């Protein structure tokens, strides 16, 4: 059986699908197509993927920051085949939004090459996807608890069942899905066309103006439409109210709002600062908030529904 696998691997590599082109691993996808002597063969000495040996506090790890990047030279060949199945890479991630099951991968692949030739770091905010162009930035929402992260897709997978995405250990940690191993998620691509509306590293003056309409919230109050900084999302209204009071003193020139949002039947309370007008120095406000302990601050637009 081992000889057959090695012969199969050799044929696969000769066909042009080297390890820098397609990763066939993942937390639950234990591939054996790489033969002995491959730069990736060492990972298979670990039979089961896992996280770090000792607990690690990753609360300080920042989300991936979307920016303009050309397509990677590696990992974007289309079509490509893995384990006898053909996959096609999307020409663009523009407008991509999908729901499905997420899994995660960790130490088994830590330090090895990703599909686009980079080195996988399980403590970074990255991910693997079968069809999105590499790289692509995604906002990932855990539909079971409302938590959100932004990741950079630089790898291929998962090739197990109908799973939609493989998240890094750090991303899974921040989504609170490590214990269960999988989670129901929604993916939304952050593409160049939307980058200015979601990146905290731009000034609002460079974002398209919004109308004077208002957004009605579930509690009957109205929040002015426009751009806001989201500093957190909570399952408890009292927790959101507590954060709201503390945030007032961090950036006193901005109003603070608690915006309830229903996700799959569960109400999530998001704390927004704004609206931001004119050429308000967004990055300065983000720096102040991050020094105060608010991680993952990002811009949202209540008109466009990017929150």
Q: Which of 110, 2, 100, 111 is nearest to 49 (CA)?
A: 110
123 compared with 53, residue with greater pLDDT: 123
Check whether residue 282 and residue 151 sit in a common domain: no
Residue 91: the pLDDT is 94
- Number of domains present in the structure of the chain: 2
Check whether residue 127 and residue 101 sit in a common domain: yes
Residue 70: the pLDDT is 87
What does each C-alpha distance from 234 to 207, 243, 245, 273 come to in angstroms? 27, 10, 14, 15
Check if the beta carbon of residue 289 is closer than 8 Å to that of residue 297. Answer: yes
* Rounded-to-integer distance, Cα 75 and Cα 122, Å: 19
Check whether residue 179 and residue 269 sit in a common domain: no
pLDDT over threshold 60, residue 37: no
Mean pLDDT for all residues in the chain: 75
Question: Could you read off the pLDDT of 277-298 as tens digits, one per residue?
Answer: 777 788 788 888 878 877 778 8
Measured between alpha carbons, how far apart are the two ends of the chain, in Å?
52
Task: Identify the domain containing residue 92 by its residue range.
Answer: 2-51+58-191
pTM: 0.56
Check if the beta carbon of residue 135 is closer than 8 Å to that of residue 189. Answer: no
Check if the beta carbon of residue 72 is closer than 8 Å to that of residue 135. Answer: yes
Paired tokens of 238: 């009292």
Check whether residue 153 and residue 28 sit in a common domain: yes
CA max distance for the chain: 69
Residue 80: the pLDDT is 96
Check whether residue 149 and residue 217 sit in a common domain: no
Question: 105: domain CATH number?
Answer: 2.40.40.10
């Amino acid at each position: 059986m081992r000889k057959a696998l090695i012969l199969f691997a050799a044929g696969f590599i000769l066909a042009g699908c080297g390890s820098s082109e397609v990763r066939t691993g993942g937390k639950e996808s234990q591939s054996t197509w790489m033969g002995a002597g491959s730069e990736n063969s060492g990972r298979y000495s670990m039979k089961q993927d896992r996280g770090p040996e000792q607990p690690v506090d990753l609360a300080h790890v920042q989300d991936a920051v979307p920016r303009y990047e050309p397509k990677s030279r590696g990992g974007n060949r289309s079509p490509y085949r893995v384990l006898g199945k053909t996959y096609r890479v999307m020409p663009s991630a523009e407008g991509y939004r999908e729901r499905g099951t997420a899994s995660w991968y960790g130490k088994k692949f830590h330090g090895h090459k990703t599909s686009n030739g980079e080195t996988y770091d399980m403590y970074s905010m990255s991910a693997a996807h079968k069809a999105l162009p590499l790289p692509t930035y995604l906002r990932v929402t855990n539909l079971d608890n409302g938590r959100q992260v932004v990741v950079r897709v630089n790898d291929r997978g998962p090739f197990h069942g109908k799973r939609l995405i493989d998240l890094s250990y750090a991303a899974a940690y921040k989504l609170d899905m490590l214990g269960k191993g999988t989670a129901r998620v929604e993916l939304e691509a952050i593409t160049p066309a939307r980058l200015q509306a979601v990146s905290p590293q731009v000034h609002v003056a460079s974002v398209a103006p919004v109308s004077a309409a208002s957004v009605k919230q579930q509690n009957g109050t109205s929040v002015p439409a426009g751009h806001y900084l989201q500093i957190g999302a909570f399952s408890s209204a009292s927790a959101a109210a507590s954060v709201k009071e503390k945030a007032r003193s961090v950036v006193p020139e901005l109003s603070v709002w608690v915006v309830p949002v229903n996700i799959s039947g569960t109400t999530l309370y998001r704390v927004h600062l704004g609206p931001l007008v004119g050429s308000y120095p967004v990055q300065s406000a983000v720096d102040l908030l991050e020094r105060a302990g608010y991680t993952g601050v990002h811009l949202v637009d209540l008109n466009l529904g990017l929150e």
